[in-house]
A and B are shown apart, each in its own frame.
Chain A
Amino acid sequence: METFFDQLAIGASTGALYALLALALVFIFRATDIVNFAQGEMAMFNTYIGWSISRPLSFSWIPFLSIERHINILNWHPEVFGIPLFLGSESDGSTRLGYLLIVIGTVAIAFVMGGLIERLIIRPSEGKNLLNAVIVTLGIFAIVNSIANWRYGPVPQNYPAPFKGNAVDFGLFKLGQHSLFALIVGVAMMFAIYVFFQRTKLGLAVRAAALNPQASELMGINTGQMLTLGWSLAAAIGCLAGMLVAPSVAGISPNLMLGVLLYAFAAAVLGGLDSALGAVVGGLAVGIGQTMVVQYIGSEWSDIVAFGLIIGILMVKPTGIFGSPVVKKV
């Protein structure tokens, strides 16, 4: 039987992932005034790329090269902080890249893709009307979802997780190993994001470029580059969230991030779309609230309560809890 505190811990873990995606939404919104509806689908697609990388590798398609023989050399199990670098070899002589390598590779790809999307699609379509760009993100949403359905099919696939063992007992509450891992990674990412924006020169420049592009140019900041960097970071963070979500649901499927994105939106709007702190608090609140509603009222009430509450809050305080009052940029 799961106790109230178990639920609280699970909610916090889910909430940390909502918070990550909400942070990604907030970055892009602050930098460009665009609400990126494609955030979740970008994350889903990148998570699929991680899944592809995690599949057994076979080199038998390379002519004249029977590399399968030698691949067994990789049958070793180095670890970094207890996380296996390689998940081990298959009996057929192929191998799986280790979890850490998958994460690093996938996040790097997501980073590049996020930047490319900004440069090649968003920037040329921005024009005079902010709505253009929003429609474009909706378009990316639909296209990416369709490609994933066509390429990978609708059936959920297993997704690697580094920790799959029994729940850890903290006395007051128990938490599954993967949920604990997600919570730790989520909190660590938030801390890293905080340090980047508050303590580094580059982070400060990204913020400045979002606040006042023209003044930033006069400081010598290449604001175009900062915008691209913002999208890259948002994509990388979203991708990391996706890779943590996939093992805790049925696995990866094209609809992996649909629900998550909705709740992340709820979190971002609840906290204030332009507030990073709001995204974190909103994410945790939504995650915990959702878990509690599912447990004590019924899962069918999850969406109703969450969004009912959010609509209610927006009617009372349209800027969200931590958002700054709407001052339109000139």
Chain B
Amino acid sequence: MLEVKNIRAAYGPVTALHDISLSVPEGQIVTVLGANGAGKSTTLRVISGLLRPSAGTVLFEGRPIHGKPADWIVRQRICHVPEGRQIFATLTVEANLSLGAYTRRDKPGIKADLQRVFDYFPRLAERRNQVAGTLSGGEQQMLAIGRALMARPRLLLLDEPSLGLAPLVVRDIFKIIRTINEEDRVTILLIEQDAKLALSVASYGYVLETGRVVVNEPAADLARNETVRKSYLGY
């Protein structure tokens, strides 16, 4: 479904990605792991159009999407839940969610999806009129994911959904990520610091180091790979 080929990307003079290739088959969860600064978030930023690659291609269902503006890419139903959530802090929960559906016109479908998001995250339903900035960290993460779901994505890019959350909340969120993948059949590209957790839900994994892919294997093999675990994943 998604093919990233030999991507190179830089922030001004700083080259963040040297050569990244990865592929995400339809219906699967693929995870990208690696140390801080390895280039995981940058890879997602290239896919979602926030950053133009200086070389390489990104194909979505065979069609090139690299270099296209972010708002166009959202319309292809590729949705990026960025690192640090980036919710609209002074708007209500409901306004945040309706912004998620900005590209859609089908009122009944939007309403149904709002209900679905509230089913996934009942806490958001209780707090629908609350200003988003006053939500707890976990609730904000739920909102960020819910907001992306409102666009009815086909490919969901998740950047560290567990960041700063209590273990119990992380477990809930991962349960929901799995449901989104299995029931709603959303393909997911997942970035995660908790490699063990990510590999438990993913079917395939990539390990990045300083802007390059150093290992790529089925998730089960990665989880068993002693050397990779010791040298890159640290558990």
Residues of A within 8 A of B (CB): 201, 204-205, 207-208, 211-212, 214-223, 324
On whether the beta carbons of B89 and A218 are closer than 8 Å, the reply is no
| Contact partners of A201 in chain B: CB under 8 A | 98, 102
| Contact partners of A214 in chain B: CB under 8 A | 50, 82, 86
**How many chain-B residues does the 8 Å CB contact rule pick out?**
25
Q: Which residue of B lies closest to A207 (CB)?
A: B91
18 additional A-B pairs beyond A215-B88, A220-B103, A223-B71, beta carbons within 8 Å, are A204-B95, A205-B99, A211-B91, A212-B86, A215-B82, A215-B87, A217-B71, A217-B74, A218-B48, A218-B50, A218-B74, A218-B80, A219-B74, A219-B99, A219-B100, A219-B147, A219-B151, A220-B75
On whether the beta carbons of B74 and A220 are closer than 8 Å, the reply is yes
On whether the beta carbons of A215 and B91 are closer than 8 Å, the reply is no
Q: How far is the CA of A205 from the CA of B89 in the complex (A)?
A: 14
Sorted from nearest, which 9 A-B pairs have the closest CB atoms? A220-B74, A220-B103, A217-B70, A215-B86, A220-B71, A219-B102, A219-B99, A222-B71, A220-B102
Q: How far is the CA of A204 from the CA of B86 in the complex (A)?
A: 16
Interface of B is mostly: loop
| Contact partners of B50 in chain A: CB under 8 A | 214, 217-218
7 pairs across A/B with beta carbons < 8 Å?
A: A211-B90, A212-B88, A219-B103, A220-B75, A220-B103, A221-B99, A223-B71
| Contact partners of B103 in chain A: CB under 8 A | 219-220
| Contact partners of B70 in chain A: CB under 8 A | 217-218, 220
> How would residues 67 to 98 of chain B score, 1 for a CB under 8 Å from any chain A CB and 0 otherwise?
00111001100011010001111110001001
Q: How far is the CA of A207 from the CA of B96 in the complex (A)?
A: 11
| Contact partners of A205 in chain B: CB under 8 A | 99, 102
Among A214, A218, A219, A220, the one with the most B-chain Cβ atoms within 10 Å of its Cβ is A218
| Contact partners of B71 in chain A: CB under 8 A | 217, 220-223
| Contact partners of B49 in chain A: CB under 8 A | 217
On whether the beta carbons of A208 and B88 are closer than 8 Å, the reply is yes
Choice from B69, B91, B99 contacting A222 with Cβ under 8 Å: B69
On whether the beta carbons of A221 and B79 are closer than 8 Å, the reply is no
Q: How far is the CA of A128 from the CA of B137 in the complex (A)?
A: 32
On whether the beta carbons of A208 and B82 are closer than 8 Å, the reply is no
| Contact partners of B74 in chain A: CB under 8 A | 217-220
| B25 CB, min distance to chain A CBs, angstroms | 24
Q: How far is the CA of A20 from the CA of B48 in the complex (A)?
A: 39
Choice from B48, B69, B98, B151 contacting A204 with Cβ under 8 Å: B98
On whether the beta carbons of A218 and B91 are closer than 8 Å, the reply is no
Q: How far is the CA of A205 from the CA of B88 in the complex (A)?
A: 11
